[in-house]
Structure 1
Amino acid sequence: MKRELLNKNKMHVAKVFTLIIFLFLFVFILRLGYLCLTGKVDGIDLQSFANERNTKRETLYSLRGTIYDANEEVLAQTINSYTLIAYLDPSRSEGYETPQHVVDKELTAEKLSTVIDMSKEDILNILNKDAYQVEFGSAGRGLTELQKEAIENLGLYGIDFITTHRRYYPNNSFLSYVIGYTKTDDEGNMTGEMGIEKEYNEALTGTNGFVEYQKDLNGYKFPNSNEIRKEKVDGNDVYLTIDSNVQMSLETVVSNAVNASKSDWMIAVVADAKTGKILGSATSPTFDPNTKEIENYLNPLVSYTYEPGSVMKTYSFMATLENNPDFNPATATCLTGPYTIGEDTVSDWNDTGWGEITYQRGYTLSSNTCVANLVKNYLSRQVLMDYYKKLGFGSLTGIDLPNEYVGKVDFRYDVEVVNAAFGQGITTTPIQQIKALTAIANNGVLLNPYIVEKTVNSDTGEVTYKSEVKEGQRVASKSTIQTIKELMYQVVNGNQADTTGYKYRMDGYDLIGKTGTAQIANPKTGKYYTGSTDYVYSFAGMYPKDDPQVIIYVAMQRGYNYSTVLSEAVKTIVKDTAKYLEVFDETPELNKEVTEYKMANFKNKQTEEVKQTLNNLLATYVVFGNGTKIVDQYPNKGTKISTKDKVFVFTNDSVITMPDLTNYSVKDASVVLNKLNINYTCNATGYVQTQSIPAGTLISNDMEVVLN
């Protein structure tokens, strides 16, 4: 009985076990069938999962486009950048005939300290760390090709580099607010943050590619495996209208003028009168986009709004001439002296005025009360308002730069109308002044200013965008413009007793223009500052008178000896631009016995070859550095110069020493120091007599030379 019961239990267990096995096999077969049909487990595609585990995808990074000037000189480019690293672990040298790690730490530290900005002791502290690999902080990052080459030539064991890309601005603070700068994210993507870099960010930015392939367990590509590849597309190149020769002149002029006057800020702009092209725009203070030590993020050319002062009298007279055909400023008269409007009084800069004078003399003497009479007798509020706006004041010029401000042209009451007529109580920008001046240069027709010439596909050379001269509306008749040009001519070339602009006179250049002196409003109180230098001083002009080719606008806020400093700045700009742009068939002051020639391109040529070429031209030249190759020059290629002009060429020497600048002109000394990226203060006028750092001294980043 017990045996039968035991056998029954065994049979029951066997049946249950068989059923479990059957159910397991059934589920397994179902899962296997599902897998075969769908290729998925728990919603995961096994084929994709396997591919992802065995597939490697590498990004092919595109290069940001290059920014060039009008002469195809590089202003901004993407270059290789290097981070210095050192391998410390001896295990890295196993299996190699030569050491692959740092062997002599003392020697390595001593030699590296001669190239990177770090002391031997600090380098040694890093090399003594218990680590497989080390970096050297900010001193070891962002190294240039020259620095990398210098370190490689030291012949040190265990030293290597990590290669990345960075945006490089070869001329440092040159044209910085126009060019702008970029920001790089954690993935190495660059985005424009200011200037052309921002405005043309989409055009400059390329498209990354990739390469995808199957890898083994060690991460190596399987031989003969398929490869999926999408090529990168580099960004477009952008060509500006800026002429680097003109720009260098402006940079030097502005730097020297600010040093001499101690002004708060200064801007100098030069434009092609017949096209509206901006040929140069220099400002102070400025910044180096390589280091991004920026105090002010507004581009003065398009974002500085301030009361322009008496340069607006030109347009008040234009409005009067356009709306009063019988008005003749040479014969019509006005009574100058204190002028009462309700409870307000308008005065001239000499307080007493000049009695009854012609409107022409009132213009050349920059009489506020004469303009007050002009408003009373010939201009209504609406006529003046409409004319200012017709010229472009109070609206965007449309120049291809970001963050353009419109200023304020709004006046209601009688005293406000008078103030606006001589440039107070309204605000404008430098680029608006340039646009308005184009009407005078083109017989009454406005031109829209622009600063980008074209964009070009960096791979194919195809022009993807081309700027054209953009004519605006006619704002004045030819007869009005002839009268205005004659008034502006008298400002510069009239009798000293009858004009505020006699210091701007230049024989042979036919410069015309209008001076400006504007009070500065206190933003907290709304009232004007009352200090002796609390003004914005300016000059708006062009040359030559009969057929203007070049427009110039210069302004500075506060500044000692402003009239001399500003006039000398303008005259230097006129002389330089006349020569560089070949405005005249023959430079007015050139000695006919001096030979003229056009500057060749010496960049990337061997130093000895360049010296021989310059010797054959009988040129006066100076070579800076002991390198074998020329990396920079002044003047730039294509510039028309004479044998009396100095030529500067700069070699690829990684060691910068202080040059001997005694007896150099202030302009030439400034050019050299800017090219060598040496900080300086210039107290000299005319020629350099002494320098605070002796010639031959090794230059470091924190040094500044004072020229007297």
Structure 2
Amino acid sequence: MIRERNKFGSNRLAVLGTVIFIFTVIVILKLAYLMIVKHDYYIALANNQHYANTELNPNRGDIYLQDYKEPDKLYPYATNRKYYLVYANTIEVKYPQDILTKLVAVLKIEDEEEQDIILQRLIKEDDVYEPLKHKISEEEMIQLAEYELPGIYFEEENWRYYPENAMGSQLLGFVGYTDAGYQGQYGLEGYFNEELSGIKGQLSSSRDSGGRIIPTGDRVYETAKDGFNLVLTIDRSLQFYTCSMLAKHSIKYGAENGTVIILNPNTGAIMAMCSYPEFDPNNYNEVEDIDIYNNPAVYSAYEPGSVFKAITMAIALDQEKVKPDTMFVDTGEVTIGKYTIKNAEGKIYGEQNMSQVLEKSINTGAIWAAQQVGLDKFNEYVENFGFGEKTGITLTGEVSGNISSLAKKSDIYLATASYGQGISATPIQLVTAFAAIANGGKLVEPYLVDQIVFDSGLVEKNEPSIIRQVISKKTSMTLSAMLASVVEVGHATLAGVPGYYIAGKTGTAQVINYQTGEYDADKTVHTFVGFAPINNPQYVMLTKFHHPSNVEFAASSAAPLFGEISKFLLNYLQIPVEK
């Protein structure tokens, strides 16, 4: 019996020891968790008990448009506007349904789902800060305040505001909420988000055990630094007119979308950039398809078609393989291996010179000129013109296009590339390449920001950048005259403006169907790229329509849009009549 009792006592002692051991381990682990894992949390909690911390938000930088006629005058393109947040301290709310009725009436809240959300927030228990509606105007705030609704308060807040609404919206982008907070997205707002956002400041003050600020206590103050202001190279009047005309003509031709870029060929400064359709960045969340946020000027690479014949001719001229009067005989088609390439509409032109190849947009003539150069040298020039790489323009979403077919060392790819098929380019690449034709052969870097104005008031001027010499000045002048004949007597007469010599080239490109691998007979892309005046070019412009439904060729769509905008622009810039 004594042995059994001792055995029982020993077992009980062992169990007790095990329990104490486990408890000790748990305590040690808990202490380790609190001291190591949650260390920063409790330090912050302690600091919050002794300090009042306030985050100081900087003002987001503004974006401005220029006025070419009054250089000292700027127009806000993106700015900040004061609004109010209406919120509830639900502890004080007495009649939530009555409050909802007044909110609905004053703020014109018609959505029943939104009304229900607000009501649910009003009836929450013990919530001292329940946001009900952002972005209400000062007039609406005053009207609601006059009701003296128990538990209803207002807080001032800044919101991004776009005075020009939808004008050039893909260029501009917008500011909206993301997982990372209030951020610039797409366009200039997205690209320069960090610079525009500024740097937050902080105010930290000592407080007593009751939570009250101690006037003579410790205080840390870090000033918020406002974001930079951007002054764009774009002229407001030109931008407005260009975007309006693009929308008008896109609707007229039944196009899915359209693009216009106007660039100073001597500096690379963008004078106007528009897309159709547009969206209102003030209400960016009301779009049906978020693809509309992308800027097709830099985001959409496509097979450019016959506008590329100007690049082909530039290469052949610069290599001294052809002259404007060099003759070739067109039989209407060219056979390369198993492929036969024909002219548009199956036309046969017979004996033609190189100027006529451009005037009549002869596919076989472009192929012949490219063959005189050879694939390797042709590819080298195409790369030097900037195709196959990004231009570096300060916009989100730029793509590089695709000229990889030229690296395949195949005669068929040289042939198709000569008239702008089988390779892809973006509108910004095309207009930059044509700028080199216009300005004496120099590839310039396109840019949108003329000045950066820092928080300190310091102004940084953006200087033009020449990337490289692509063709000789002689080639530039010769080709400019050839392209002027395209507008004077060729396919692009509708791009002309009475009294001026305008150079340019049309392009009606087929569109590949990636499901079948064949070109779609019912879909085309129309492009015109040109510049004026040819003796002293002040602008180069690209006009483009994607899938126009009721016009067959670019000569009847992109060319007349170019002509209409050019008529305005030549007058606006006060360029003297040439003829």
TM-score, normalized by the shorter chain, greater than 0.5: yes
> Which whole-Å deviations, capped at 9, do the CAs of 1:425-460 have from their partners, x for residues lacking one?
0111111112111112211122111111122113x2
Distance verdict in 2 for CA 1:402–1:110, change over 3 Å: closer
Does the alignment pair 1:446 with 2:440? no
> Which whole-Å deviations, capped at 9, do the CAs of 1:597-652 have from their partners, x for residues lacking one?
xxxxxxxxxxxxxxxxxxxxxxxxxxxxxxxxxxxxxxxxxxxxxxxxxxxxxxxx
CA distance in 2, matches of 1:48, 1:396: 47
Tell me the SS of whatever aligns to 2:183. strand
What is the TM-score when the length of structure 2 is the normalising length? 0.81
Tell me the SS of whatever aligns to 1:419. helix
Distance verdict in 2 for CA 1:254–1:492, change over 3 Å: same
User: Is the contact between residue 336 and residue 367 of structure 1 (CA under 8 Å) also seen in structure 2?
Assistant: no
Q: CA deviation at 1:306?
A: 0.7
Q: Say which of 383, 395, 398 aligns to 2:392.
A: 398
Q: CA deviation at 1:385?
A: 0.9
2:377 aligns with 383
User: Is the contact between residue 578 and residue 587 of structure 1 (CA under 8 Å) also seen in structure 2?
Assistant: no
Structure holding more helix per residue: 2
Q: Which amino acid aligns with 1:74?
A: P
Does the alignment pair 1:79 with 2:72? no
Does the alignment pair 1:416 with 2:406? no
What is the TM-score when the length of structure 1 is the normalising length? 0.67
> Which whole-Å deviations, capped at 9, do the CAs of 1:19-77 have from their partners, x for residues lacking one?
xxxxxxxxxxxxxxxxxxxxxxxx99x99987652321111112222222234322222
Does the alignment pair 1:546 with 2:542? no
Q: Say which of 517, 529, 542 aligns to 2:508.
A: 517
> Which whole-Å deviations, capped at 9, do the CAs of 1:388-409 have from their partners, x for residues lacking one?
1111111222222233211112
Q: Which amino acid aligns with 2:54?
A: E
User: Is the contact between residue 255 and residue 284 of structure 1 (CA under 8 Å) also seen in structure 2?
Assistant: yes
2:262 aligns with 270
User: Is the contact between residue 213 and residue 228 of structure 1 (CA under 8 Å) also seen in structure 2?
Assistant: yes
Q: CA deviation at 1:157?
A: 2.6
Q: Say which of 153, 165, 173 aligns to 2:166.
A: 173
User: Is the contact between residue 260 and residue 565 of structure 1 (CA under 8 Å) also seen in structure 2?
Assistant: no
Q: CA deviation at 1:417?
A: 0.9
Tell me the SS of whatever aligns to 2:479. helix
Structure 1 residue runs of 5 or longer lacking an equivalent are 1-42, 93-100, 589-708
Does the alignment pair 1:57 with 2:50? no
1:202 aligns with 194
Tell me the SS of whatever aligns to 1:556. strand
Q: Say which of 135, 140, 149 aligns to 2:139.
A: 149
Q: Please, which moves more after superposition, 124-133 or 408-417?
A: 124-133
CA distance in 2, matches of 1:304, 1:455: 28
User: Is the contact between residue 301 and residue 424 of structure 2 (CA under 8 Å) also seen in structure 1?
Assistant: yes
1:17 aligns with none
Q: Which has the higher contact order (CA 8 A, sep 6+)?
A: 2
Q: Say which of 223, 241, 250 aligns to 2:242.
A: 250
CA distance in 2, matches of 1:55, 1:331: 84
User: Is the contact between residue 75 and residue 169 of structure 1 (CA under 8 Å) also seen in structure 2?
Assistant: yes
Distance verdict in 2 for CA 1:68–1:125, change over 3 Å: closer
CA distance in 2, matches of 1:417, 1:238: 43
CA distance in 1, matches of 2:248, 2:568: 15
1:577 aligns with 569
User: Is the contact between residue 442 and residue 471 of structure 2 (CA under 8 Å) also seen in structure 1?
Assistant: yes
Q: CA deviation at 1:239?
A: 1.9
1:315 aligns with 311
Structure 2 residue runs of 5 or longer lacking an equivalent are 1-38, 68-73
Tell me the SS of whatever aligns to 1:141. strand
Does the alignment pair 1:221 with 2:218? no
User: Is the contact between residue 113 and residue 119 of structure 1 (CA under 8 Å) also seen in structure 2?
Assistant: no
Q: Which amino acid aligns with 2:157?
A: T
CA distance in 2, matches of 1:124, 1:389: 59
- In the TM superposition, what are the counterparts of 1:13-92 in structure 2 within 5 Å? 52-71=48-67, 72-85=74-87
User: Is the contact between residue 501 and residue 578 of structure 2 (CA under 8 Å) also seen in structure 1?
Assistant: no
Tell me the SS of whatever aligns to 1:80. strand
Distance verdict in 2 for CA 1:49–1:537, change over 3 Å: closer
Q: Which amino acid aligns with 2:164?
A: N
2:25 aligns with none
Q: CA deviation at 1:211?
A: 1.3
CA distance in 1, matches of 2:513, 2:111: 48
> Which whole-Å deviations, capped at 9, do the CAs of 1:369-395 have from their partners, x for residues lacking one?
12222234x221112111111111112
> Which whole-Å deviations, capped at 9, do the CAs of 1:484-541 have from their partners, x for residues lacking one?
11111111111xxxx211222220232221000111111223211112xx11110000
Does the alignment pair 1:502 with 2:493? yes
> Which whole-Å deviations, capped at 9, do the CAs of 1:110-134 have from their partners, x for residues lacking one?
6852543337998699679656899
CA distance in 2, matches of 1:110, 1:121: 16
Does the alignment pair 1:333 with 2:349? no
Q: Larger C-alpha radius of gyration, 1 or 2?
A: 1
